[in-house]
Structure 1
Amino acid sequence: MVPVDFRHASATDYPSITSLHVRVSSEAYAGMLPSDYLAKVMPGEKAKLWERRLAPPVDFQKLAITLAEVRSDLVGFACCVLDEETHFGTYLHNLYVDRSFQGNRLGPRLLIESISRFSEERREMPVHLLTIRENYQARGLYDRLNGHVVEQKQNVMSRYPDVTFVRYQWPSARVMASNASTLCTP
């Protein structure tokens, strides 16, 4: 397994997180989302998202952002939004791993590391996420993590066709981390 360092994100990580988010999204969603959106609209949306999230001071009462680095290079990140759609639990809004590190159990390791930083109370709360229905690579991971599809919904993107999302949910962050640890066992 590749030696990986995990740490909390800070305001200075804005450019590297944005770059990785745009690059991985462009690869992952090719053929699922319109190419002009991926090339022209999405980069600006992600830049604004991370600029807003990481504007000093970062509010760690609302966000839990864990970075994975190899030799000081960002290779993955997980972002949990702690105050959004709370009726479903903690919202795992982002789990992104650089393509060259996919298949090395880095996604599950990021989840374990992120959840280990939660309070005891938050570890007992459900966790949920949304993904594009046709994102079979990500859905394969969520299925292996024993997530349950609890909802499908249409999201109308301006000027683009409807996209169907599925919501996965786990009964608790503790259960999700336990399931992730079984995927990390060789």
Structure 2
Amino acid sequence: MRKADAGDANRVAQIHICGWRDAYGNILDPEFLENFAEGERRNHWQSELTVARKDQTIFVMDNQGELTGFICVKLKEDAVWGTYIDSLHVSATARGQGTGKALLQKAAQWIMEKDADSPIYLWVFEDNSRAIAFYQRLGGDIVEQATSEMPFSRGAPALRIAWKSPDRLLEALYESAS
């Protein structure tokens, strides 16, 4: 695992798109997924990985040059909910092998170093039962339901999942490993 750099943008975008098509095929606008998502995600990650920000980090799981997952974390994104896990995506071939947990652990450790008291949250579509179950197994609590403001989501219901601190997330990760 390592910190992502600008050279990773296309591979990160590809993992992101594959994840969207797999998990959100019935949620996101099909025309967007088919015709526009790849370019949009490529531009997005090129921008995110080109501009250095002290309040954001992106880690990638790198298996001898093959990226199998990534996580993007934004410190103090919300005054109430704290640090935002903006994206966590794992390639289909790496699912169930601990990649998501390893990425979350690295992110939680980074958050601990930067702001140990920060709560952590993320948004997940209500129809993404696999992801919701994963986060709940790791101690995440569903704290809010809202309508997604994500473009092309067609107002799908989304859930905010939160942890009170990086310590809580790390404890749950360690417990799940034993």
TM-score strictly above 0.5:
yes
Would you say the 8 A contact 1:109–1:181 is kept in 2?
no
Unmatched 5+ stretches in structure 1: 1-5
- Structure 2: any 5+ residue segments left out of the alignment? none
Cα 1:15–1:132 shift into 2, 3 Å:
same
* Structure 1 match to 2:96: 103
The 4+ residue runs of structure 1 with deviation greater than 6 A are none
Cα distance in 2, alignment partners of residues 65 and 156 from structure 1: 23
> 2:73 maps to which residue?
80
Q: Is the 8 A contact 1:105 1:184 kept in 2?
A: no
Q: How big is the shift at 1:66?
A: 1.0
Counterpart in 1 of 2:49? 54
Q: Using a 3 Å threshold, how does the CA distance of structure 1 residues 51 and 175 change in structure 2: closer, same or farther? A: same
Residues 159 and 120 (structure 1), Cα distance of their counterparts in 2 relative to 1, 3 Å cut:
closer
2:118 aligned residue (121, 125, 128): 125
Cα drift, residue 86 of structure 1? 3.7
Give the match for residue 17 of structure 2: 22
Question: Are the equivalent residues in 2 in contact too, given 1:108–1:181 (CA < 8 A)?
Answer: no
Change (3 A) 1:86 1:14: farther
1:40-77 deviations in Å (ceiling 9; x for gaps): 23223312221221124x21x12121111112200011
In structure 2, which of residues 105, 108, 111 is the aligned counterpart of residue 112 of structure 1?
105
Contact 2:69 2:88 survives alignment (8 Å): yes
Answering whether residue 128 of structure 2 is matched by residue 135 of structure 1, we say yes
TM-score (norm 2): 0.91
Normalising by the residue count of structure 1, what TM-score does the alignment of the two structures yield? 0.87
Work out the CA distance in 2 between the residues paired with 1:129 and 1:118: 14
Q: Match of 2:34?
A: 39
Residues 107-144 of structure 1, C-alpha deviations (whole Å, 9 max, x = no match): 11111122223344523210000010100010010110
Shift of 1:39: 1.3
| SS at 1:87 equivalent | coil
| Structure 1 residue 162 corresponds to structure 2 residue 155 | yes
Q: Are the structure 2 counterparts of residues 95 and 146 from structure 1 closer, same or farther at C-alpha, using a change threshold of 3 Å?
A: same
Partner of 2:137: 144
Distance 1:145 1:157, change over 3 A: closer
Separation in structure 1 between the aligned mates of residue 86 and residue 48 of structure 2, nearest angstrom = 12
Give 2:87's match in structure 1, choosing from 94, 99, 123: 94
Q: How many pairs align?
A: 178
Percent of aligned positions that are identical = 25
Q: CA RMSD in A?
A: 1.8
Change (3 A) 1:152 1:160: closer
